[in-house]
Structure formats: structure tokens, C-alpha cells
Structure 1
Amino acid sequence: PTLGNNVIIGSGAKILGPFKVGDDSKIGSNSVVVKEVPPTATVVGIPGRVVISGEKRVGVDLQHGKLPDPVAKAVSCVFDQLHRLEDRVEKLQAEQQQLQTELAHYRKSELEEEKV
């Protein structure tokens, strides 16, 4: 490989192949670089991947504290479903009460007709 000016290579890093590592680049410890590195890039991993290129982050930035919480989302969905079911039960109970009242009136009117 051809190393540019001011390149920093971490301990244990391997640079394999006939390519150039650009000026002011950084190679992380124990990284395995198998392709050309642009200037001012930071490369980490096996195989080496550019994670910062010219002060700009590239690729996935996993800030785990800012990731959505799947458990909280699931619990929220369960509570939403619970509220919908509670509303449905209340409506069904109201309908049942109304039907029982109507049935009582119907039976009462039948009894009165039989007496006549």
C-alpha cells in the first residue's frame, strides 16, 4: 500500500493490497483494510469500512440511547387495545341492559294480555 501524509494506523491494523491510503486518514486498531481509503477518512472494522469521511459521518450511527424502545411501543399498543376493548364492553353492557329492559316490558305486557 501507499500511505499518504499524516496517516495514523492503530496497533494491529492490517492494510492488504496495492492501493493508496489518503492523506490525514486514520485506520482503527485491529482493522483490516482491503480497499482504497479517501483523504481525511476514518476506517474501522473487519473488513475496514469508512465511518467518517472529511469530518462527516458515513454509514450507520447507532446511538443506542436515541433508538426507539420496542418494549415501550408494544406496551403502548397493548394499552390502546385494552382501552378499545373496555369501550366495547361498556357498549355491549349498555345494549344488554336496554334489551333486558325491553324484554321485561314485553313480558309484562304479555302477562297483562293474559289477564284480560
Structure 2
Amino acid sequence: LAAYDFASDRAALFLNEYAKANDPFGQIGTRSVSVQVTSVVRASESSFQVKWTEQVFERGSLASTMRWTAILTIVIRSPSNTDQLRKNPLGVFINAIDWSRELDSAVPTPLSPTESTNER
């Protein structure tokens, strides 16, 4: 998988554990996930906050939409062979991953233009 070309050994362990617990290939053909990255912000010299939205489709129909936030810590290592140079020429590797699902909060509905505060 291409994700491992950008993962340090430490991050690869995290990805392996996640895959064992969630079986990403178990629902091929029945479930798909569309990911849209909504922001990437530097959090420190070696970490970034990444926010994204996932849309889960089951048998072609939208089943759910979830928002996520992660802190990704990176390390930079020069490619040591031609294969690494081809796959990850900048040598940027994710070294630590911490993600969580954002809780949905109710958004207050604004007043309609014809509704006044006295009519409440």
C-alpha cells in the first residue's frame, strides 16, 4: 500500500494495528469511503493538524458523513535508494499519528427574515 511509502517504522506499526482492528479489505465492493481534506495547519516544527471529512457509501448510497482531526508528526530522511527516491523524493515520513472523530454539534437555526424576536 502506498501509505507505507510515507510512514516511518513507528507509524507503520500504528497502521498495522488499525488494519488488524478494522479489516479495511473486508468490505470491498459493498462499502467505500470518500475523503476530502479540509485543512492542514502547522502545529509545531515537526507536526501538522489535519482536518478532513469522510463520506461513507454502502452499496452506492451515502450512509454517513463524519469529520475527523489528526495531529501528524513528521520526520525527514533523505532517500537511501532509487526505489525510495521514486516513491518519496522529499523524504517526508509520518512518524506519529493521533486522530479523533469530531463530535457533531447542533447549529442554531437563524431567524427567518419575517420572524421577529417578539414573535417567539
| TM-score normalised by structure 1 residue count | 0.25
Of structures 1 and 2, the one scoring higher in RCO (CA 8 A, sep 6+) is: 2
Q: Hey, which of these two has a bigger chunk of strand by percent?
A: 2
- Structure 1 or 2, whichever has the larger Rg, is 1
